[in-house]
A and B are shown apart, each in its own frame.
Chain A
Amino acid sequence: MNALPRPSTIFLAAITTLVAVLLYSPLFVPIVSSFFAISHGNVDWSSPTLSTYVALAENHDILAALRTTLIVGICTVILSVVSGTLLALYYHGRRSGRSILQFIIFLPFLMPPIISGLALLIFFREIGLERSLLTVVIGHTVFVLAIVYRTVLMRLQSMSRTLVEASYDLGATGWQTFWRIILPNLSSAMVGGAILAFALSFDETMITILVTGTQSTLPVRLWAMMRLGFSPDINALVALILMFTVLLCVLAARFLIPRQMATERS
């Protein structure tokens, strides 16, 4: 790249570094402080300790919220992957009414979460459904459906039509073709979509605050706790969650990126 002379490259690199530092500083601070004890609001930098991690293991409130988050996440993933895949297959195969369907699916993702959340809140009240984990799962599923749907649809559209035709030529029925040709080809997109869905559900706060009953997920619990200020064990939790998130990112990238980049090149 000779489009720009040297000094401007240095300038660009400097800004990029600044952006990276800005983006990572809010992640860095809690991780570092998770290894030090805090007394009277001051960090004791002299001696690293794992005491915050021990305290975390004894914080039943947080552990219960973590469990709730995982349950909600798993239910959301199952519901959104099944319905997202079916909708993508439907959209891919038919012509009438498709764009309306796609528009409706994307609505909750485009609208601010406060609007989707409030709409669901009023809806649940009108149909007499008590706020509970069920309403949270429905809210999350509606929110992440667009992502799973889009991931699967993109894979479907990049799938070669000849594979399906060959399967029919060789005498396979519709179901056989679906189970042995289409589904295996979609599986990595489905897994990638599932990981994204889980990550989004794990972090979703705004809709959850509005539609949750007495049990709260981790972000909602943290949000409530923040008004008083955190106890140090939250830093330990943050560090663990960040590690977990990085793992999810790497996994999602493994399932989604290689094929897509390959199709872009061809």
Chain B
Amino acid sequence: MSAAGSISSAERRFSLLVTVLAFALPVIFVLVPLAIFLVYSFFSVDQGTIVYTPTLGNYVRFFTDPIFLPVFWNTIVLCVSVAVICILLAYPAAYFLTTLRGRWRYALLMLLLVPLLMSYVIKIYAIRSILGLNGFLNKALVAIGILHEPSTLFVFNMNAILLTLSLLLIPFAILPIFLSLERIPQTLLRASDDLGASGLQTFLRITLPLSLPGVASAASFVFVLAIGDFLTPQMVGGISGFTFGRILYSQFGTAYNWPFGAALSVALAIVVICAILVGERSGRNRGTSL
């Protein structure tokens, strides 16, 4: 770098080599697999072997078969509901954190984020035992007198998936909302106070609008994580809780139809990309209007 121009051609060759190496790993192990995957969605299966002739059959099947579109739609509705529940719980908690001072603020934030790093599978199992027929929730509801006998409302159905996913994903909603709330300049709040606004007015007209980018990215985060999950529905969904992720997963196991599974994944990927773009876009627009 500090050397003279005499070795510049060697240096240029070296820098080309570095560039090739830098791109090799991500391209070989990320881009190529995804490309092959996309190509696979245009193949078909005949008696357990994959036929390598391009066809649109998988996509036609996805749109015409009466099974797939309704499940696809129901899963999207389910995941939007999960995102809404997570935000309704996470927003007040994140707001509360920003009212705290100094060390407490970050200690409590840490406390609410630590469950993220705890084993996903174990949490699903524990939640299933809490929601189950003999679980804590049923026992508590019976004890309070809301229910007369344990209910099967919370186990092996869509409700169970909804509750479990919400519980698992709340921390993912807390962090972006907290960060956007924390970024709001205190001077704005004080100015609003000085100008005679009540606490509620300040919240509705200053804090809430300025924190919406965080809410948008929290929502898209939670939605994307929820829709890509097949472990939770598989564990707590039972027979009636059938989601898109489960159908997808089954194409690679029991059904052994990889090309069709790949086509379903493309549909999933499109929804995910849309969700990320919407989250990003609404976040950025609000952000620049500050």
A contact residues vs B (CB 8 Å cutoff): 1-5, 8-9, 11-13, 15-16, 18-20, 22-27, 29-30, 41, 83, 86-87, 90, 94, 97, 101, 104-105, 107-108, 110-116, 118-123, 126, 138, 141-142, 145, 168, 173-174, 199, 202-203, 205-206, 210, 219, 222-223, 226, 230, 238, 241-242, 245-246, 248-249, 253, 257
Contacts and interface: CB of A to CB of B under 8 A. Distances in A.
Contacts of A168: 1-2
Given A24-B115, A111-B228, A206-B231, 13 more contacts: A4-B200, A8-B199, A13-B96, A15-B93, A19-B93, A20-B112, A104-B27, A112-B225, A112-B269, A115-B269, A118-B262, A249-B114, A253-B110
Interface residues on B, range: 35 or more
Contacts of A23: 112, 115, 167, 170-171
Contact of A230 (B99, B125, B167, B199): B125
B143 interface: no
Contacts of B111: 20
A4 B199 contact: yes
Contact residues of A: prevailing secondary structure: helix
Interface of B: 1-2, 18-19, 21-23, 25-27, 29-34, 36-37, 40, 89-90, 92-93, 95-97, 99, 106, 108, 110-112, 114-115, 117-127, 129-130, 134, 136, 167, 170-171, 174, 189, 193, 199-200, 202-203, 207, 224-225, 227-231, 235, 245, 248-249, 252, 258, 261-262, 265, 268-269, 272, 276
Contacts of B26: 87, 101, 104-105, 145
B272 to A, nearest CB: 6
Contact of A111 (B21, B114, B129, B269): B269
8 contacts: A24-B115, A27-B115, A111-B272, A114-B248, A120-B29, A141-B29, A230-B125, A241-B119
Contacts of A226: 121, 124-125, 235
B265 A118 contact: yes
A113 B228 contact: yes
A226 B27 CA distance: 37
Contacts of B171: 23
Contact of A104 (B30, B36, B95, B99): B30
B117 A16 contact: no
A199 B117 CA distance: 7
Contacts of A20: 93, 111-112
Contact of B230 (A101, A114, A174): A114
Nearest to A238: B122
A8 to B, nearest CB: 7
Nearest to A257: B106
Contact of A205 (B18, B25, B231): B231
A248 B269 CA distance: 32
A55 B17 CA distance: 54
A22 B30 contact: no
Contacts of B189: 3
